[in-house]
Amino acid sequence: MKQNITLSLEKDLIKKAKILAAKKDMSVTKLLSEELTKVISEDDEYEVAKKRALTVLKKGLPLGGRLNNRREELHERR
């Protein structure tokens, strides 16, 4: 469902947006809609990647090897 919004932008920015939209053969509304969709999509992808990375960090990476010595043996004082 589409809904209209009102934006308050600097005149110079509106002029440049109209020129850019005309170069791309689209309306300013479509230009802004596509760019906003792109920004939101990138943010969503970032959040998914962030959650995935935090899960891996909490779980840890299987680096192999085993620790055969007790802490006391490794830090034995002489």
DSSP state string for the chain: ----------HHHHHHHHHHHHHTTS-HHHHHHHHHHHHHHHHHHHHHHHHHHHHHHHH---------S-HHHHT---
Tell me if 35 is assigned to some domain: yes
What is the pTM for the complete model shown? 0.67
Tell me if 22 is assigned to some domain: yes
- pLDDT (average), residues 29-46: 98
Tell me if 32 is assigned to some domain: yes
Tell me if 76 is assigned to some domain: no
Task: Count structural domains, the chain.
Answer: 1
Q: pLDDT tens digits, residue range 47-66? A: 999 999 999 999 888 787 77
Tell me if 70 is assigned to some domain: no
Domain interval for residue 49: 11-60
